Amino acid sequence: MSHFDRYRQPLKNARGLGSAKDGVHHFIVQRVTAVALLFLSVYFLVFVVGLIGVDYASARAAVAHPCNAVLLIAFLIASIWHGELGLQVIIEDYVHTPGLALTSRLVIKFVCVLVALASILAVVRIALGA
């Protein structure tokens, strides 16, 4: 035992060795977004069903309403974040080649961020009347 090892917990050697390279943060965020989506996905479904048959101006006005704009952006963030976490787990479980796993995780992350930014910008543009 070296001089420093007397002050180190065995936990230090175990940290970061799981397939996700981190601790329970992923698990917790997946559950927190899940609880948010229990409500937000029902809201989104009701909102979309309410848009059936309305004309373009009415659809824009519905999205532009501040309550809807805020809840839609909340739904977009929660659902895309939750989806990115879920797809990451599937990659970790089934893709066993480290290079391919890293590449596919990066691609999924980048696509998710771009989809989130594009859809949120669209809601903001509609809400601000641009």
Partner 1 sequence: MSSTVRPLSPHLQVYRWQIQMVTSILHRATGIVLALGSLLVAAALVALASGPEAWAKVVALATSWYGLIVLVGWTWCLAYHWLNGIRHLLQDAGLGYSIERFVANSWISVIGSLVLTAIVWFVIYAHGGLA
Query: Minimum distance from CB of 10 to partner 1 (Å)?
Result: 27
Diameter over CA atoms, the chain: 75
Give the binding-site size for partner 1 (rule: CB under 8 A): 35
| Cβ neighbours of 97 (radius 10 Å) | 9
| Cβ neighbours of 76 (radius 10 Å) | 20
Decide: is 126 part of the binding site for partner 1 (CB under 8 A): yes
Binder of partner 1 out of 24, 106, 113, 118 (CB under 8 A): 118
Q: Which value, in Å, is the radius of gyration of the alpha carbons in the chain?
A: 21
81 token code pair? 């974040």
In SS3 terms, 42-91 reads as HHHHHHHHHHCCCCHHHHHHHHHCHHHHHHHHHHHHHHHHHHHHHHHHHH
108 token code pair? 């999924």
Decide: is 113 part of the binding site for partner 1 (CB under 8 A): no
| Binding pattern for the stretch 23-62 against partner 1, x by CB under 8 A and - elsewhere | --------x--xx-xx--xx--x---x--xx--x--xx--
Binder of partner 1 out of 83, 95, 101, 105 (CB under 8 A): 83
Residues that bind partner 1 (CB under 8 A): 31, 34-35, 37-38, 41-42, 45, 49, 52-53, 56, 59-60, 63, 72, 76, 79-80, 83-84, 86-87, 90, 112, 115-116, 118-119, 121-123, 125-126, 130
